[in-house]
């Protein structure tokens, strides 16, 4: 008897989850041991009640992401902010605690919004939001690299690496923009496969939204930049509690840019366990900071992520299991405004 494809896919997901989780925990233990458990615990004690401010700033970031998502929804939709926020928190929690990332988080948001938006509208709005968010990440990382080159004295080899990354990111951004505008399918090849047809429909929805609502696209982009700015503020405050000398905004911006990179690249690692600690600990000496501060910064972020992931999981647990027919998109939720 052979294993059917869905079963094999499920097995692969479980194996990936186990391997990523085990690897992350091993890396976490190594980073903690290298930095020194005592120094990290002392740093956490110095943060103290400042953790409340860190959690609050995390909440502000969720509010900004929710506001940007709502701007990507159909202009005549009347989705309550609270319900959109709950869906976003739940989706983010699933994406953080599992190795599936966007594959799990975005369907969760679509499912929780099924009584407010029809599936196509939810998918299109999330696609627009994520594409603009990706552009904001590119800008944030590029800005962080420029700040690193401008403020830190690095060996020539490291400067070359940073410049190479900048060039590669600009090229990658150009390629992504070209693919978004034109796609990759040649009509001479015949009919598209169903999955490519669905991707083409999403791409057309994104282009139609940007063409029909250009001001909204820029407002969404501004909200995402505000999201990254709040993240840098969080890092700045945390470093102020952890370091003996006052931190600089350049250090906060660089650490925040690194966090964006690890979030995107290592999304398959649940809660990015170990990855954040190892990368922040490795970056710290380059910025004139002891590794223990970098590791502790990542641990504090981990506490924040866990706290908000718990909120998201509670939202999922409280969501009614009873299936109710979705609203008719021609009904009150999408009725023209008087």
User: What SS3 string covers the chain?
Assistant: CCCCHHHHHHHHHHHHHHHHHHHHHHHHHHHHHHHCHHHHHHHHHHHCCHHHHHHHHHHHHHHHHHHHHHHCCCCCCCCCHHHHHHHHHHHHHHHHHCCCCHHHHHHHHHHHCCCCCCHHHHHHHHHHHHHHHHHHHHHHHHHHHHHHHHHCCCCHHHHHHHHHHHHHHHHHHHHHHHHHHHCCCCHHHCCCCHHHHHHHHHHHHHHHHHHHCHHHHHHHHHHHHHHHHHHHHHHHHHHHHHCCCCCCHHHHHHHHHHHHHHHHHCCCCHHHCCHHHHHHHHHHHHHCCCHHHHHHHHHHHHHHHHHHHHHHHHHHHHCCCCCCCCCCCCCHHHCCCC
Instruction: With a cut of 70, list the residues of the chain below it in pLDDT.
Output: 1-36, 100-102, 181-201, 210-211, 320-338
pLDDT at 189: 66
**Cα–Cα distance between 117 and 123 in angstroms, integer?**
9
pLDDT at 228: 96
**Cα–Cα distance between 145 and 126 in angstroms, integer?**
28
**Cα–Cα distance between 320 and 298 in angstroms, integer?**
35
- Phi and psi, residue 117, nearest 5°: -135, 140
- 50 token code pair: 């400042």
Crossing angle (nearest 10°) for helices 5-35 and 37-47: 90
- 229 token code pair: 């700015």
Sign of CA dihedral 312, 318, 323, 326: negative
pLDDT at 235: 95
């Amino acid at each position: 008897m052979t294993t059917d494809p869905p079963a094999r896919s499920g097995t692969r997901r479980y194996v990936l989850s186990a391997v990523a989780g085990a690897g992350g925990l091993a890396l976490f233990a190594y980073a903690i041991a290298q930095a020194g458990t005592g120094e990290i615990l002392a740093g956490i004690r110095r943060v103290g009640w400042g953790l409340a401010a860190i959690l609050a700033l995390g909440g502000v970031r969720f509010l900004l992401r929710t506001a940007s998502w709502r701007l990507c929804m159909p202009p005549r939709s009347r989705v309550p902010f609270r319900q959109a926020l709950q869906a976003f928190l739940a989706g983010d929690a699933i994406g953080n605690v599992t190795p599936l990332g966007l594959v799990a988080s975005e369907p969760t948001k679509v499912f929780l919004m099924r009584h407010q938006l029809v599936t196509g509208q939810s998918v299109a709005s999330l696609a627009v939001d994520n594409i603009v968010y990706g552009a904001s990440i590119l800008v944030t990382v590029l800005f962080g690299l420029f700040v690193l080159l401008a403020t830190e004295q690095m060996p020539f080899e490291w400067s070359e690496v940073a410049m190479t990354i900048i060039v590669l990111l600009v090229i990658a951004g150009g390629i992504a923009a070209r693919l978004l505008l034109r796609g990759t399918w040649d009509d001479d090849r015949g009919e598209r496969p169903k999955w490519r047809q669905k991707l083409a429909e999403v791409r057309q929805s994104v282009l139609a939204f940007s063409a029909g609502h250009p001001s909204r696209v820029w407002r969404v982009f501004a909200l995402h930049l505000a999201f990254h700015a709040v993240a840098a503020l969080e890092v700045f405050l945390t470093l102020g509690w952890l370091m003996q000398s006052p931190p600089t905004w350049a250090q906060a911006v660089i650490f925040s840019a690194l966090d964006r990179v690890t979030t995107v690249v290592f999304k398959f690692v649940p809660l990015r366990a170990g990855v954040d600690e190892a990368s922040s600990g490795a970056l710290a000496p380059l910025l004139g900071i002891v590794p223990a501060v970098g590791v502790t910064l990542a641990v504090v972020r981990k506490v924040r992520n866990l706290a908000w992931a718990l909120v998201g999981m509670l939202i999922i647990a409280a969501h009614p299991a009873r299936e109710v027919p979705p609203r008719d998109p021609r009904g009150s939720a999408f009725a023209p405004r008087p």
